[in-house]
Amino acid sequence: MIKLHYHPFAQYCQKVLIALYEHDLPFERVVVDLGDPAERAALARVWPFTKFPALETGDGTVLGESGVIVEYLDTLVPHRTPLVPEDRLAGLEPRMLERVIDHYIADPLTRLVLARLMGKPCDEDAERALIATAYDFLEARLPGRAWTAGADFGLADCTAAPALFYANLMVPIGERPLLADLFARLRARPSIARVIDEARPYRPGTPFDWPDGY
């Protein structure tokens, strides 16, 4: 059985959890508290960069990087619609959007959170502007699409759901109707709703203002 080293509240881990739930794949859970020296050391023995998620495939292979893990999970369920199209050209859009969301929404958000929690230097205006630019970029690509990258739910949606869920609390999506509609449909999808629920116990102590029903 595959083994996932992760934390339920971490957005890159949530990307992989959504893919696992979409494919209905069984897996062993190893929840890692990076603030615990023993757990951090245990993760470093599996993945020396001490980042999660990390996936042990069961044959001695360890995979890091959330997008790579999602693509690997597709290979375990060839009877299901893949989250990343097998055709290389068709796969370019979801892969590009994954990187855009990671680099220009998830990463700036992380820097904003660390600035609040740990006092790390951060140009908050610049980070918020970067996230807003990414929102506008996504809004411009959504006309005619059912999901983030096209007709089918996939990698870009696994990426967008947690990133938008957290970022919207600090940089509201606002008057971007297509992105707001996508966000609502993402939150309603069972795999994503499950991930949100699993992360609820870890909300106390985070620098977010949690609206009722969020």
Instruction: Determine, yes or no, domain membership for 204.
Output: no
Residue 85 counted as domain residue: no
Q: Is residue 149 part of a domain?
A: yes
Per-residue pLDDT of the chain (214 residues; tens, 9 = 90+): 999 999 999 999 999 999 999 999 999 999 999 999 999 999 999 999 999 999 999 999 999 999 999 999 999 999 999 999 999 999 999 999 999 999 999 999 999 999 988 877 899 999 999 999 999 999 999 999 999 999 999 999 999 999 999 999 999 999 999 999 999 999 999 999 999 999 999 999 898 999 998 9
Write out the DSSP string of 82-151. Answer: PSS-SSTTTTHHHHHHHHHHIIIIIHHHHHHHHHHHH-----HHHHHHHHHHHHHHHHHH-TT-SBTTBS
- Please tell me the number of Cα atoms within 13 Å of 129 on its side-chain side: 5
In a domain, 185, yes or no: yes
Q: Look at residue 136 and tell me if it is in a domain.
A: yes
Please state the domain count of the chain: 1
Helices and strands of the chain, counted as H and E runs: 9, 4
Q: What phi, psi does 4 have (nearest 5°)?
A: -105, 125
Structural domain includes residue 37 = no
CATH number, domain of 115, equals 1.20.1050.10
| Structural domain of 113 | 92-192
Query: Which residues make Cβ contacts (< 8 Å) with residue 166, sequence separation at least 6?
Result: 11, 109, 208
Please indicate, yes or no, if residue 213 is contained in any of the structural domains: no
Three-state helix/strand/coil letters over 36-66: CHHHHHHHHHHCCCCCCCEEECCCCCEEECH
Query: Domain for residue 110, yes or no?
Result: yes
Residues 6+ apart with CB under 8 A from 2: 25, 27, 28, 55, 56, 57, 58, 76
Report how far residue 190's alpha carbon sits from residue 211's, in angstroms, rounded to the nearest whole number. Answer: 21
